[in-house]
Structure 1
Amino acid sequence: MIQVLIVDDDAFIRESLKMILNLQPDLEVVGTCGNGLEALAFVKQHPTIELVLMDIRMPECDGVQGTRLLKEYAPHIAVFILTTFDDDDYIVEAIRYGAGGYSLKNISPERIIEGIRTVHRGDLLIHPDVARKLATLVQGPRTDHSPGSRKVKLEAYQLTPAEQQIVELIADGKSNKEIAQTLFLSEGTIKNYITEILSKLSLRDRTQIAIFYLT
């Protein structure tokens, strides 16, 4: 059972999402909040929360700063950004602070639910174009973005050809399931590869792998 906190300044949206998510056998909405500061206070009182469904634009403390506060306090909590605004700058900032992905509110409930499961698994849910923009903001533009230069970069960290291919697929926004299907391997094998990649690159999560590869 995934314990979920919904954070949105619109009470109607909060209650609608709560009703939809609670219909799922593997999801439980533990509570709802109106901004990032309220979310932080709630998480401190409810340590079982595993995922926060976070709006971007909220009064007092928006989703970007809310993500930063939550990840600083409880790095293990997954944050899934859900917004009505297709605003790359906000999204990029939230992901840079540790959000596991984003989606727009106008998608179907089924896709929101699947997005929650994806982010909870630790898979990165982000469009490749946003990942590239994030890479530029974090470390600045590089003069050489060619596949050849990236391959040399990965080889310098002793990544095997299979590990290099998985890094490329992560940077393209593929989930573990999609990578497994592409490489004809099990999801468990892919997870083991990713653990080894994180160790070799001294990185924390899939977002950092994508940033590392794209910069």
Structure 2
Amino acid sequence: MKIKLIIADDNSFIREGMKIILSTYDEFEVLATVDDGKEAVDYCKNNEVDVALLDVRMPNMNGVEATKLLTEQTNTKPLILTTFDDDEYIMDAIKNGAKGYLLKNTEPEVIRDAIKGVYKGNSIIQDVVLEKIKSNLAESKNQESKIDTSLFTERELSIMSLIAKGLSNKEISKQLFISEGTIANYITSILNKTGLGHRTQIAIYYLTGKVEQ
């Protein structure tokens, strides 16, 4: 079964180019391309769409606003794809339920893998984007994390720290010498304790001390 996609971007050259690229992969079916967030939301409310690729800056309704409505009103998973690595947009998109955040100059193979990951329920955020968040937070907060450490075990805190550094479960497994399955269990425990939805939110929570839903 193919993963059903739509592409929302106010630049026709970019959205049609993206459609051509993604259509070369057998696992995808690009159902439509639209001009703005409102059209994306309307389309997804009336059609079964697995993943919506959303530009951030669009007229009528931007990608962040569209992400919120898609998350609340449809089963479509939003994936932000933009040329802008603006911190405010990143944070807002994640808080609104974005399952991924990639820059448009990313290699097509990486975008393909990200779409497949988001479709499977994973959250994808590029290292360069996560580094941007961390850099901004370091400047504004001097890297002073204010999480309540009493809520977590030492192992959970270690895993949260490594997630915040952008490490994958496999990389964390090698560093802590425990299985990926055990790490997944710890992450589930952390999510349950914080009420967060995915690992990207764990990273932001660890770095800011705030639970951003």
Does TM, normalized by the shorter one, top 0.5?
A: yes
CA contact (8 A) 2:85 2:132 kept: no
Query: Which amino acid is 2:105 matched to?
Result: N
Q: 1:177 to 1:123 in 2, by over 3 A?
A: farther
Residues matched between the structures, number: 203
The match for 2:156 is 163
CA contact (8 A) 1:131 1:171 kept: no
The match for 2:130 is 128
Q: 1:129 to 1:196 in 2, by over 3 A?
A: same
Cα deviation for residue 186 of structure 1 reads 4.8
The match for 2:185 is 192
Matches within 5 A, 1:1-215: 1-47=2-48, 49-74=49-74, 77-120=76-119, 121-126=121-126, 127-132=129-134, 145=144, 150=147, 153-154=148-149, 156-157=150-151, 159-215=152-208
Query: Which amino acid is 1:164 matched to?
Result: L
1:140-170 CA deviation, whole Å, 9 max, x = no partner? x768716xx65xx23x11x333322221122
TM-score, length-normalised on structure 1?
Answer: 0.78
CA contact (8 A) 1:51 1:79 kept: yes
Q: 1:130 to 1:97 in 2, by over 3 A?
A: farther
1:10-62 CA deviation, whole Å, 9 max, x = no partner? 22322221222222233332322211111111111123x22211111111111
Q: What RMSD over aligned residues (CA atoms) do the two structures have, in Å?
A: 2.8
CA contact (8 A) 2:44 2:76 kept: no
Q: Which moved more, 1:200-209 or 1:61-70?
A: 200-209
Cα deviation for residue 134 of structure 1 reads 8.2
Q: 1:144 to 1:60 in 2, by over 3 A?
A: closer
Does the residue aligned with 1:213 lie in a helix, a strand or coil?
A: helix
CA distance in 1, matches of 2:19, 2:143: 46
CA distance in 2, matches of 1:133, 1:96: 19
Q: 1:142 to 1:87 in 2, by over 3 A?
A: closer
CA contact (8 A) 2:101 2:124 kept: no
Structure 2: gaps of 5 or more residues = 209-213
1:161-180 CA deviation, whole Å, 9 max, x = no partner? 33222211222233334434
Query: Which amino acid is 2:169 matched to?
Result: N
CA distance in 1, matches of 2:25, 2:37: 25
Does the residue aligned with 1:31 lie in a helix, a strand or coil?
A: strand
Query: Which amino acid is 1:128 matched to?
Result: L
Q: 1:109 to 1:145 in 2, by over 3 A?
A: same
Q: 1:206 to 1:134 in 2, by over 3 A?
A: farther
Structure 1: gaps of 5 or more residues = none
CA distance in 2, matches of 1:160, 1:172: 19
Q: 1:143 to 1:17 in 2, by over 3 A?
A: closer
Q: 1:172 to 1:50 in 2, by over 3 A?
A: farther
